[in-house]
Amino acid sequence: MDVLIVEDEAEIAALIQLYLEKEGFTCHTCGDGLQALALAQTLQPDVIVLDLMLPGLDGLEVCARIRQGAGPKDPYILMVTARGEEVDRIIGLSTGADDYLVKPFSPRELVARVRALLRRSLRQGGKSPQHHSPHFRVDLAERTAQRLNPSEPLTLTTLEFDLLATFVGAPGRVWTRAQLIDKLWDGDFYGDERIVDAHIARLRKKVEPEPAQPQFIKTVIGVGYKFEDPEPGDSLTYSP
């Protein structure tokens, strides 16, 4: 498995590389945002360990651009920063990061989180190949999702796809944040449960006619979320 380490402090980058390579990962390093974008395109890593504070482009911008221009691989992104305020975490996750680690951290914890991210892709066996609803088709084998009314492929990150598949596969079920974390992270989660809210918000922007007034992924106040799919004859107007 290939890991791209984007960290401008050479000692920290070397430490991360040392621990990851001990665990069998192939590591590549760089120290600025522009180089990170170039390497992400050429190397197509499985995981990017991304520092928030970088020269050139900061980690938030790098993360957003990687998600906007995803190549053959959609890498997991573990954002690392010395800034631990809640607002920084939410902003980082909203740009497409899959997890968030605050300095100072244990290198062993970082390795554990990288492994946890990679284990997500191993949980598709034993499921039915497709989920259908009046407005969506989700193919678990091909890992593709499509809006049906109007017909349009959806470009989703790995976690967004898993969320949509979970919802479409169990319409009407109310999911707590803890249940979604348990299903998607399978016990490999270390952070704040509100990471779910950030990923739900990003998914809504891609599947809802009006993300601020969701018709599919509904909030159940005080509990969590559920998926509802109106009949095809119901009026849905998508924003351009």
Per-residue pLDDT for the chain (240 aa), expressed as one digit of tens each?
A: 899 999 999 999 999 999 999 988 999 999 999 999 999 999 989 899 999 889 888 898 999 888 887 666 778 899 888 766 655 666 666 677 888 888 888 888 899 888 877 766 543 333 446 777 888 888 887 788 998 877 889 999 888 998 999 998 888 889 998 888 888 876 556 666 778 898 999 999 999 989 999 999 999 998 899 998 876 544 444 444
CA dihedral 8, 66, 112, 184 (to 10 degrees): 160
CATH number of this structure's domain 130-227: 1.10.10.10
Please answer whether residues 195 and 79 qualify as being in contact, where contact means their C-beta atoms are separated by less than 8 angstroms: no
Q: Which CATH class is domain 2-122?
A: alpha beta
Tracing tokens 């954002």 back to the chain, one arrives at 79
Amino acid, single-letter form, for residue 231: E
Structure tokens at 106: 């244990």
Q: In what order do the strands lie in the sheet with 130-132?
A: 130-132, 136-139, 144-148, 151-154
Q: Where are the domains of the chain?
A: 2-122, 130-227
4: three-class secondary structure by DSSP: strand
pLDDT of residue 6: 97
State the amino acid at position 32 in one-letter form. D
Contacts of 122 (CB under 8 A, 6+ apart): none
Distances (CA, A) of 57 to 31, 33, 174, 177, 223: 11, 5, 40, 32, 38
